[in-house]
Each structure stands twice: as structure tokens, then as C-alpha cells.
Amino acid sequence: MGRIDRSNGQDAVMEQRHIRSMLAHFDEYERVKRKQHSDHTFVHEFFAARGLCKQNFHKYYRRFLLHNRDVNALLPHRTGRKFKHALEHAPQVLEAVIALRSQGYNRFDIAVILHKLQQVTLCPTAVYRLMKKLNIHRLNPVIKAQKRRIIKMAAGELGHVDIHYLARDLVPSIGKQKLYLIGIIDSYSRVIWLDVLTSIKSIDVAFAANALLLRMKQRYDIEFKEIMSDNGSEFASRNNPQHPFEKTLDFYGIKHRYTKPCSPQTNGKIERFWRTIEEELLSPETFKSIDELKHYITGYCVYYNEHRSHQGINLQYPVQLC
């Protein structure tokens, strides 16, 4: 019941075998439904005995009935608009995609901008296929550098904040107590600072975020204009200005931006950092106490910001861009 090429020769023989097999299965299935089958009383017994996928079987069976039992309907085929025609029938979309891609926008950004500005609905996957046909799906170094200049001009324009759950056996002495990392990273320079939390209640997160903002100001002279967070309850409260994290940002005059729901790539810089610190420091280490863990976390922040070259900023140290 898989996909079969509809062509001459051996493939045509395979098509006929596929059709005969499907018709035989349909006949058995209908006899089971009419309670006339000699071996099976219920359809699930029939599917199990024949090794058939129920969902796939019903897809072909419904198609067979909708086409008035035409056997050609049993041959697997693609449905919907063929993407190759997009290059012929939407020149304005092509021009918009090329222009946006030349500015360094990714497929997700392009899909949103097309929908807002031109009322064109293309999913990010369709945008990527279109860019691939146009051979603009890969950013060259010039466009990458231009993208960084367009989106972020200086440290402090945008920060990303997030919570990372730590492994339970990272500090064996605390038993089942949960530990978390909170971090703020500067989108332009990649300077980051972290703290260890034992609670992610909104008030605790707000106090920790306040400490991180102060430390980044004191050590790197970074003052944020905007902070982006996910929509978790410890950060997000669009309609409640009294939310602790919202009040913290408001105190410093920082605009709060939110990621798109179910789109962690929007906060990708700090999401990628969590993988880095797990690989370089945390996994598979263990620490004697929370204080020791905090000591190593602080040391790693200094190393990451001031002594470790970063591929995303042309192998410079993050501190060099402050």
C-alpha cells in the first residue's frame, strides 16, 4: 500500500498486483462489516490478521468509494496543487520572496511577512521549497553579515530570556529538589549571564532576572531596550501589568516581546546556548552543592563571554562586541 510509480514495464505489473491486492482486502473488509466473514467477527481482527494499517487502509477505501469504485483511484498519487506551477503563476510572490531573502529573512519570517503585506498564505515549508527552486535557500556570508547589521546594530537592542531545567542528579546531595537555570543573552553580542534557581514561581524569576540585568550592566555596560521571552506563566502576562516579571521590565523601561506560541526557534539564540552549556560543562558532571554549581556557572559565563570565540559572530569573543 505504499507509493507506486505509474509508468510502463515492471511498474505496470506492480500496479496491477497492488490493485488486485487492494480489491481482495476491500472484499474481505466488506464481508466482515456485513458479519459474513468466516474467520473474523470484528474489523480490528481483520486488520491484525492481514498486517494492515487501519488509517492507510481507510484512506484508500474512502478514495475508492468516492470515485465510484474506479480501480485507478487505488493507485497512490499526490493531491492538491503541484508546487512547480508556483513559479509560473505568482511572479509577485517570487519578487517578494527574493527581496526578503536578500535581506536575510528566514522562511518563517517570509511566510509571516507575505501574509501580512500581500495577503499571500504560504507555509514556511512551501517558502523553503520555493527558495530552493530559486537557489536562494542558502545565505552567503555577505547576506549573513548584512542580516546581522539590519536586525541588530548594537548590544542591548534585544535580549532573550529563558528557563532551563537541570538534570535531577546534577547535585545528588539535594535529593529530589528541582534546579533550574535562568539566563539572559544579548542578541547582538551573544554576551550571557546565568543564575541557578530552586523555584520558577513568577516572583522568584523576577528577582533573578533583576539580578541578571544589573550584573550585565555592571560588567558589560549592556542596558536592554527589549527582552524576548516565551509565553510561560513565569514570564508572560499580556493583560496583567502587576505580574512580577512585567513590573521588573517596566521599572527599567524595557519593552517585553513574546515568542510565537510553539515556535522555540524565535528564541533560538538562548535555546542553542542551553545545548552548548550542557555539552561543555554540565553533562555528565555532578556537583557537591548548589553553591559549587553556582561557582562553576559563574566561571563558565566569564569564559563564554570573554575567552571563548563564537562562530555566530565571526569567531570573535562576545565581549568584543559590547
On whether both 175 and 301 belong to a single domain, the answer is yes
On whether both 24 and 125 belong to a single domain, the answer is no
Res 89: pLDDT? 47
On whether both 104 and 172 belong to a single domain, the answer is no
Res 294: pLDDT? 94
Q: What is the pLDDT of residues 74-102, one digit of tens each?
A: 876 655 554 455 455 467 788 888 888 88
On whether both 176 and 307 belong to a single domain, the answer is yes
Query: Which pTM does this prediction carry?
Result: 0.55
Judge whether residue 141 has pLDDT over 80: no
More confident residue, 319 or 150: 319
On whether both 227 and 315 belong to a single domain, the answer is yes
Q: Is the dihedral of CA 190, 195, 201, 204 positive or negative?
A: negative
Which range in 6-20, 226-240, 288-302, 303-317 is most confidently predicted, on average pLDDT? Answer: 288-302
Omega before residue 124 within 30° of 0, cis: no
On whether both 212 and 268 belong to a single domain, the answer is yes
On whether both 170 and 300 belong to a single domain, the answer is yes
Res 208: pLDDT? 94
Q: Is position 279 within any domain? A: yes
On whether both 139 and 193 belong to a single domain, the answer is no
Res 276: pLDDT? 92
Judge whether residue 195 has pLDDT over 70: yes
Res 19: pLDDT? 85
Domain-terminating residue out of 74, 97, 121 = 74
Domain-terminating residue out of 21, 47, 74 = 74
How many domains does the chain fold into? 3
On whether both 186 and 314 belong to a single domain, the answer is yes
Report the pLDDT averaged over residues 141-164: 73
Q: Is position 270 within any domain? A: yes
Q: What is the pLDDT of residues 285-313, one digit of tens each?
A: 899 999 999 999 999 999 999 999 888 78
Question: What whole-number distance in Å separates Cα of residue 208 and Cα of residue 101?
Answer: 38
- CATH code, domain with 175: 3.30.420.10
More confident residue, 13 or 35: 35
Of 101-105, 175-179, 266-270, 316-320, least confident by mean pLDDT is 101-105
On whether both 128 and 89 belong to a single domain, the answer is yes
Question: Using an 8 Å Cβ cutoff, are 15 and 8 in contact?
Answer: no
Of 67-76, 127-136, 147-156, least confident by mean pLDDT is 147-156
Residue 15 CA, chain-centre distance (Å), reads 39
Which of the four pLDDT bands, split at 50, 70 and 90, describes residue 136?
confident
**Domain that includes residue 19, residue range:** 10-74
Domain-terminating residue out of 123, 151, 179 = 151
Calculate the average pLDDT of the chain.
83
On whether both 267 and 301 belong to a single domain, the answer is yes
Where are the alpha helices (H) located in 67-140, listed in sequence order?
86-89, 91-102, 107-118, 124-133
Question: What whole-number distance in Å separates Cα of residue 33 and Cα of residue 278?
Answer: 55
